[in-house]
Amino acid sequence: MLSSRTNGGRTLPHYYLVYFLLVDLLQFPHMGEWEKSAWTIPVRFRGRLYGIEHRKMGLGIFAPTLDPKATMNEPPTDEAETDAKEIAALITRAVAVANPYFEWRAEQAAAGNQINVLNKSSSLFERYEFFRDRFRALSAETESKKNERVITKKILDDDTEVTQGSFPAHALRKEANWHAQAAVEAFFSWTEHAFIHLAILRGRLCTGQEVARIAEADWKTKFKTALNLDEAATKKHYDELLDLRAQIRNFMAHGAFGKRGEAFRFHSGAGAAPVLLTEDQKHRYSLTGKPAFEERRAIEEMEEFIEHLWSGALGPARIFLFSSLPSILTFVSDGTYAHAMESEESMTEFVEYLARKFDNAANMDWW
C-alpha cells in the first residue's frame, strides 16, 4: 500500500503497450482498479518486489516501503532506482519484439465494436469559424475603406518629387479572400470528420473496420453515408458543396493557377485566350468552364448547409458532436445512440451522463 515512484521507471513505453505485453501476452498476474489506480502488476526482479502501476499521474515503476511499521512512503533506494532502470529497459526491448502481437491485437480490436472513435469536431469547427469570422471582419473593413486613398510623397536623390497613391481596400480585400479560402478548406475538413460521427450516431457504422473504410473514402462517400440524398434540400446542398469543393481543390491544391482551372494563355487573333485544365481524361483542355467561385458566396453556401444540417432530425447530433466525447461503437449495437437521437433533451441527458463517466475515469475515481 505504501510505495514511491522511481525515476528509473519514467522511461516506460505507453501504458497500454506495457499492459498488453505483460498481462495479455505473458499472462502476468495483476490487480485491478484501486483508488487513483487503474491496475498494478507486481513483479520480482533479482528477488526484490516492485509494482508496475498505472496511476492517475501516469505509468511508473514503484518501490514498496517494506517496513510494516511505516506510516508514510519512503523514497526509493539507490538499489531500487538501478533496478527500475533495468526493468524499464527490459520492458522497452520486449515491447519492440512483441510488435507482431500488437498488430494482431489491433486488427482484432478494429474488427469488433469494443472501440471508441475520437471526436475532434469542436476544434475543427472552431478553425472554420476563425477563418470565416476573419473574412467577415476584413470584408467589412474593406467596405468602409473602399473610397479611401493614401497619398505619399518622397524626394529622389536628384530632388525630383514623386507622388504615389494606394488604396488600402485592395490589400484588405486580398487578405479577406485568403481567409475565405482557408475557411472553405477548414469547412471540408470539419465535414469529413463530422460525417463519420453522424453516421455512427445514426447506426450506419458499427465496427472499427467500417469506420476505417469510410475514413479513407472521399468526401462524397462520407456525405452519402451520413446523410440522405433522397431529401431534395440535402441533395441541393450536396450538389452546391460538391461543385465548390471541386473548384477550391483545383484552385488551391493544384498550384492555384486560376479559380476556373486556367493554367495557360495561348496566342490568337482574339488576343490571349485562357486554356482550362479539366478532369476529363479524354479532353484535358478546354476553353469553356464553370464560373469562378466567389468567396462571399462560398461562405454563404457553407453557412446555409450548416443551418440545414442541424434544423431537422439531426439536431440532437449537434449536441454530441460538440461535446468532444468520442463515439462509442458499442452504443450503436445496443440502441443507446438511437434512444439519445430521439430528442435534444435525451441527447443532453446522455451527454451529461457520459461526461461524468469520462471525468471519473480520468480522475480514476472508480467508486
Q: Which tens digit of pLDDT belongs to each residue from 205-238?
A: 999 899 999 999 999 999 999 999 999 999 999 9
SS3 115: coil
Domain ranges of the chain: 3-111, 116-362
The Cα–Cα gap between 207 and 215 comes to 12
The Cα–Cα gap between 359 and 162 comes to 67
Q: How far separated are the first and last CA of the chain, in Å rounded?
A: 18
Task: Give the C-alpha distances (Å, rounded to integers) separating 342 from 201, 314, 337, 339.
Answer: 11, 9, 9, 5
pLDDT for 159: 74
Do 298 and 248 contact (CB within 8 A), yes or no?
A: yes
pTM metric for this prediction: 0.79
Residue given cell 495483476 in the structure block:
30
User: Which residue type occupies 191?
Assistant: T
Strand 48-55 and strand 58-64: pairing?
antiparallel
Q: Which residue in 22, 74, 67 sits closest to 45, CA to CA? A: 22
Which strands, in side-by-side order, build the sheet including 58-64?
A: 3-5, 58-64, 48-55, 37-45
In b/e form, how buried is each residue of 45-55, taking b as 16+ CB within 10 angstroms?
Answer: eeeeebbbbbb
Q: Which residue in 116, 118, 247 sits closest to 180, CA to CA? A: 247
The Cα–Cα gap between 102 and 117 comes to 19
- DSSP label at residue 184: H
Beta carbons within 8 Å of 44's beta carbon, 6+ residues apart: 50
Strand 262-266 and strand 150-155: pairing?
unpaired
Give helix 232-248 / helix 219-226 axis angle, nearest 10°. 160
Query: How would you write the pLDDT of the chain (367 residues) with one tens digit per residue?
Result: 788 999 999 999 999 999 999 999 999 999 988 888 899 999 999 999 999 999 988 999 999 988 888 778 888 889 999 999 999 999 999 999 999 999 999 888 888 788 889 999 999 999 999 999 999 999 999 988 888 877 777 887 777 877 776 778 888 999 999 999 899 999 999 999 999 999 999 999 999 899 999 999 999 999 999 999 999 999 999 999 998 887 776 655 555 455 555 555 666 666 666 665 555 555 555 555 555 558 899 999 999 999 999 998 999 999 999 999 999 999 999 999 999 999 999 999 999 999 999 998 888 876 6
Q: Which residue in 44, 67, 59, 64 sits closest to 12, CA to CA? A: 59
Q: How many Å separate Cα 280 from the centre of its chain?
A: 33
